[in-house]
Amino acid sequence: MAMTESDARLVRLHLDWLRRTGATPVTQRYRHGVLRRLAAFLPEDSSLRDATPEDLDTWQASLTVSISTVAGYTSHVRRWYAWLLQNGHIEVDPTMNLPQPKVPPRKPRPVPDDDLAAALICAQGQHGPMRVWLVLAAFMGLRAMEIAGIRRENISQVGGRLVIDGVGKGNKPFRLVVPRDVEPDLAPYLIGSTGPIFRTAPGGRPSRPYDVSMQTRAFFRSIGMPYSLHRLRHSFGTVLYRQTKNVLLVQDLMRHESANTTRGYVQTERSEAVAALDKLGRGLRPKSPRRRPPTTPPGGTAAAA
* DSSP per-residue letters across 131-195: HHHHHHHHHH---HHHHHT-BGGGEEEETTEEEEEEE-GGG-EEEEEPPGGGHHHHGGG--SSSS
CB 35 within 8 A of CB 76: yes
Give the model confidence (pLDDT) of 34-55 as tens digits.
999 999 999 887 899 999 999 9
What is the DSSP code (8-state) at residue 196? B
**Residues paired with residue 151 on neighbouring β-strands, in sequence order:** 196
Residue 21: predicted pLDDT: 93
User: Beta-carbon neighbour count of residue 85 at 10 Å?
Assistant: 16
Distance of alpha carbon 154 from alpha carbon 269, whole angstroms: 37
Distance of alpha carbon 267 from alpha carbon 239, whole angstroms: 9
Q: Which residues of the chain have pLDDT under 50?
A: 303-305
CATH classification (class only), 113-263: mainly alpha
How distant, in Å, are the alpha carbons of 180, 241, 251, 262 from that of 245?
22, 5, 12, 13
Residue 305: predicted pLDDT: 41
Residue 291: predicted pLDDT: 66
Residue 286: predicted pLDDT: 73
pTM of model > 0.85: no
Cβ neighbours for 54, distance < 8 A, ≥ 6 positions apart: none
Per domain, the residue ranges of the chain are: 5-86, 113-263
